[in-house]
Structure 1
Amino acid sequence: MSAEKRFTKKTGLLGYSQEEIDAAGRKLPSFDFSTSSQHLGKPILVELGLIEPSPYQTSELSEEKIAELVENLRHNQLSSPIVVRRRADGALEIIAGRHRWEAYRRLGRSEIEASLRDLTDDEAERLVFFDNLLAPSLTDYQKYLGFSQRKRSKGFTNDQLAQEAGVNPSVISKLMSFEGLPESVHTVLKEHSSAVGSSLAPALVEHAVINPSLAIKAIHHIVAGELTQKAALDWLKAGGEEKPLFSVETHRATIRSGKKKYAEMSLRQKRMIINLVDENEATVVYAAIEKLLQELGEARR
């Protein structure tokens, strides 16, 4: 890619010299978006070391997803550029594509193709959060973390959050019920965010406030596949038992495209989880599953 614009420590963006950068007293040169808007949204090559994580991300990086991307990008080109913005302090902040960015880092690459966006702090927070909110793989607890951050930063009420997100206020009310959990339980859920859904959260709060350690044990039983969420709640109501009430069988399958892994799926009771190797496939698969479920629903009327 000989003709692309590059954003590097030596030249900055669009031909700025190191002397100009040093004179500005910043890591990167000032960039006038108003006079150079023709470059916004167009891919440029950016040094990986100049990109910083977004403070608006509420979910942890998936090691499994990174490993799959590393293997994919070791042999294939980046299918779409990551998205970054220029912050007021001069740093470049990643808005979308952080797993691809981390995969490039682990591969020892020096540059990555990025699309530069002109965004305020509020616009960046909204994009990061609502982009994630639409991801089918996002758990209820991860959605809660995003809404909670948005609530704090804007001082919104639950109704205002619902209005901004365009969802029913009852959805926000259920998600925000996680707020009442003790910090020790939040710590565990941040590591195992899929263990508890918003439907269980209000009842979990009730018992976790009284006995946080027992609530944490219940979560670990769910994670281990020893209890369903409903059974874990019954276990909590009974004051806990030495052994789980029953085991839940989990079915797992790996889907391949030729020799490459395409997706992994698991089924436990009524809950199905699908993890795709390529995040760009998510919307395609989601639409296909939605269509299939609609057809099955119609056939069973």
Structure 2
Amino acid sequence: MVDKHERKRGLGRGLSALMADVTETEAAAAQGVAAADHFVPIERITPNPDQPRKSFVKEDLDDLAASIKEKGVLQPLIVRKRADGSFEIVAGERRWRAAQMVQLHELPVIVRDFTDIEVLEVAIIENIQRSDLNPVEEAAGYRQLMNQHGYTQEDMATALGKSRSHIANLLRLLNLPEVVIEMLRAGDLSAGHARALIPAENATELAKIVVRDGLSVRATESLVKRQLPNGEAAKKPKPKDTSEKDADTKALEGDLSAALGIKVFLNHKPGQEAGQMTLSYSSLDELDTLCRLLGGN
């Protein structure tokens, strides 16, 4: 659990400043093992439990392991030191996994003093910059930054060099049924196919048809359209425009989101007493936590 003080430190620093650190550190790592601070026994290195990448392609790991066996690890891992003396990976988990496959005993590392928040941010930034996260992992990383650390889509778009629509479209993918998300994660569906399925009530059934028949994105859009009332795409309710919210309302949203650990939206019109509060959870675990908080447990 990240305490409030640490959360504010991470948010106060900002993604843009952190990206500068990442770029500088990666530039040093690219110089090779001579840039390493230490060589650390591999058993003292542990992966980041919040690493946004959840899947590693076996063929890629096999190729990397073969390269490491022949030439060694050419680029240090970026790590941070834990209180128990172990080192947690910030960037370079693929190298760590491949090195284990060839039974390497130690690895070169560059040690950086990152907070819990910054470790997550760096992991997401590093993976997104390398363009090797699948759409689900990338979307989950954005949601973590929003729900756990209070960043907006605009914040992430600006700092990461992405368009706001790119981030918004990826986040919408997480609203699909879990079966469809797994098909997307496995590469059976493209992000374009998945976006076309979002309006469908029977998205799982249609996704299976798309994969079975090898339909194009355009054909998928037509298939979904035929399944909807009157053959027209269903219109999902648009999220309320928060651009006109005053600074106090935005600040309160941020404080509540940080306190509850989930995204909070306030719809309060100036000059009125009444309004609406919307709580958005991304998993059943978050819902359980929210129920306990509201129940006073």
Query: Normalized against structure 2, the TM-score is what?
Result: 0.57
For residues 252-291 of structure 1, give each alpha carbon's deviation from its aligned partner in whole angstroms, at most 9, with x where no partner exists.
Answer: xxxxxxxxxxxxxxxxxxxxxxxxxxxxxxxxxxxxxxxx
Match for 2:189: what amino acid? Answer: A
* Cα distance between partner residues in 1 of 2:138 and 2:207: 20
* Cα distance between partner residues in 2 of 1:89 and 1:153: 25
| Greater share of helix | 2
Higher RCO (Cα < 8 Å, 6 or more apart)? 2
* Cα distance between partner residues in 2 of 1:219 and 1:159: 33
| Greater share of strand | 1
Matching residue within 155, 158, 177 for 2:172 = 177
* Cα distance between partner residues in 1 of 2:159 and 2:175: 23
1:67–1:103 contact (8 Å) kept in structure 2: yes
Matched residue, 2:198: 205
1:89 Cα shift? 5.5
Q: Classify 1:218/1:124 alpha carbon distance in 2 versus 1 (closer, same or farther; 3 Å).
A: farther
1:44–1:113 contact (8 Å) kept in structure 2: yes
The answer to whether structure 1 residue 55 and structure 2 residue 49 are counterparts is yes
Q: Classify 1:87/1:152 alpha carbon distance in 2 versus 1 (closer, same or farther; 3 Å).
A: farther
1:238 Cα shift? 4.4
1:84 Cα shift? 1.1
Structure 2 residue runs without a partner (length 5+): 1-34, 228-297
2:45–2:87 contact (8 Å) kept in structure 1: yes
Match for 1:94: what amino acid? Answer: I
Matched residue, 1:217: 208
Aligned counterparts, 1:21-32, within 5 A: none
Matched residue, 1:234: 222
Matched residue, 2:183: 188
Aligned counterparts, 1:1-301, within 5 A: 42-59=36-53, 60-88=55-83, 90-192=85-187, 195-197=189-191, 199-207=192-200, 210-218=201-209, 220-221=211-212, 226-238=214-226
Structure 1 residue runs without a partner (length 5+): 1-40, 240-301
For residues 226-272 of structure 1, give each alpha carbon's deviation from its aligned partner in whole angstroms, at most 9, with x where no partner exists.
Answer: 23233233344445xxxxxxxxxxxxxxxxxxxxxxxxxxxxxxxxx
* Cα distance between partner residues in 2 of 1:191 and 1:200: 13
